[in-house]
Structure 1
Amino acid sequence: MVHNSWHPFDDLNAAQREQLVMFSRLMRAFNRKVNLVSRETIEAFEERHVLHALALAWRAFPPGSVMVDWGTGGGLPAIPLAIRFPDVAVHAVDAVGKKVQAVQAMARRLGLANLHPWHGRAEHWPGRTHYSVSRATAPLATLWRWHRAVCVPLPAAPDPAAWAPGLVCLKGGDLSGEIETLQQAFPSVRVETFSLEPLLDRPFFAGKYIVTVTG
């Protein structure tokens, strides 16, 4: 359970804040041509999408680590995390070519050399990773299956302030069924949930969570 409110923008330097402002502008421009995020939420993009994605920065991803964002869509959470953690290799995977092209174009405009978009189905991604992230992409059991197929150990134990290697994803609503299905398929996993409303201190995030799976 989370009790301390925190704002991820406090951890950003001036250049990173400017990148996020530019990302918001780019998303609005691209979203007119390609449906990357819901048209109903684009006016509140900073809260509903950027802040939501950056909730995953509540704990660190270690420098030199690798992360894959399954079903990145318009680059969420991949682009905000690539901005926040420039020393982490972030792979943005999606099966929709137009979305991957948009993410590639935004990454170039933002100068994100650590962001690597990839077009194809998650099951066919050829890389290796320490962390998997996602936002409303697939059930936990499916995400964990994708992660297990490509995960490798970190070369060194992470700092206690960092996430343990595994799945770190954004979810909403009643997760009891998803967690039960995951634990039936993979009995040895450890699942933790962290409520976003007290963490970010905003009513919009009621019923939204960070879910981690390790094991």
Structure 2
Amino acid sequence: MELIKKYFPNLLKEQIHKLYYLKNLYAYWNTRINIISRKTFYDFYQQHVLFCLGIAKVFSFFPGSSVLDLGTGGGFPGIPLSIIFPYTKFTLVDSIQKKINVVENIVRAIYLKNAYPICIRAEKLDKKFDFVVTRGISNINIIQNWIKNKFKQKSSYKIKNGSLYLKGGEISNEIKKFPHAIEYPLNYYFHEPFFYTKKVIWISNI
């Protein structure tokens, strides 16, 4: 938690409390369902929470906007972002029911009012969103094809609707079809070695 407070010093007490309880909740559920790799759970706040909050360092969701967390798994990045942006609506989608069950329990446990878990395949989801977020579930080319019809026709604000990807390693082949993509290296914002190869990729829906 100290890392979170270090890089997000202006969080409200309520937000800090929600983030604090996440580790205990995930530890409980991880003994029942393998939501988070046991190899990385020891570093929960850096590798999972702070990594997801990298999106919040490069982009601010406006109040009232709608965000799809595609392939949320155990609730990442949707749950940490829901805490940081309490006035934005997050729909957390995954096709595996047992994972969504865990997400539903965590959302209830920390009284998240703006996170809505749904068990469904993305292509069957009949909703439109301002933005899509996802953490490394597949190749960007594949995901862009999945979500091409998931955006609202017009943005409510001057910011263009689009998608934000949390990625690690070499991604040049993934984004070469998207010349307008913007890459934000997270080691610019977070100084721990874990973030040396991590980045957020922004692709506007144009």
Structure 2 length normalisation: TM-score? 0.92
Which residue of the partner structure matches residue 19 of structure 2? 20
| SS of alignment partner, residue 144 of structure 2 | helix
Q: CA contact under 8 A between 1:64 and 1:87: conserved in structure 2?
A: yes
In structure 1, stretches of 5+ residues that fail to align are 1-5, 159-163, 184-188
Please state if 1:178 is matched with 2:174: yes
Q: CA contact under 8 A between 2:122 and 2:147: conserved in structure 1?
A: no
Structure 1 residues 120 and 194: CA distance shift in structure 2, 3 A: same
Please state if 1:48 is matched with 2:47: yes
In structure 2, stretches of 5+ residues that fail to align are none
Give the distance between the partners of 2:84 and 2:15, measured in 1 at CA: 7
Q: CA contact under 8 A between 1:8 and 1:57: conserved in structure 2?
A: no
Give the distance between the partners of 1:90 and 1:209, measured in 2 at CA: 21
Instruction: State the percentage of identical aligned residues.
Output: 31
Instruction: Name segments (4+ residues, structure 1) moved above 6 Å.
Output: none
Q: CA contact under 8 A between 1:30 and 1:102: conserved in structure 2?
A: yes
Structure 1 length normalisation: TM-score? 0.88
| Cα deviation, residue 90, structure 1 | 0.2
Which residue of the partner structure matches residue 154 of structure 1? 155
| SS of alignment partner, residue 83 of structure 2 | helix
| Cα deviation, residue 123, structure 1 | 1.0
Which residue of the partner structure matches residue 197 of structure 1? 187
Cα deviation 1:161-213 (Å, max 9, x = unaligned): xxx42011101111111112x33xxxxx6101011112111111111110011
Which of 188, 196, 203 is 1:206 aligned to?
196
| SS of alignment partner, residue 158 of structure 2 | coil
Q: CA contact under 8 A between 2:123 and 2:147: conserved in structure 1?
A: no
Q: Relative contact order, CA 8 A, sep 6+: which one is greater?
A: 1
Query: What letter corresponds to residue 107 of structure 1 in structure 2?
Result: V
Query: What letter corresponds to residue 50 of structure 2 in structure 1?
Result: L
| Cα deviation, residue 17, structure 1 | 0.6
Give the distance between the partners of 1:74 and 1:27, measured in 2 at CA: 9
Matched pairs, number: 199
Which residue of the partner structure matches residue 120 of structure 2? 120
Please state if 1:169 is matched with 2:165: yes
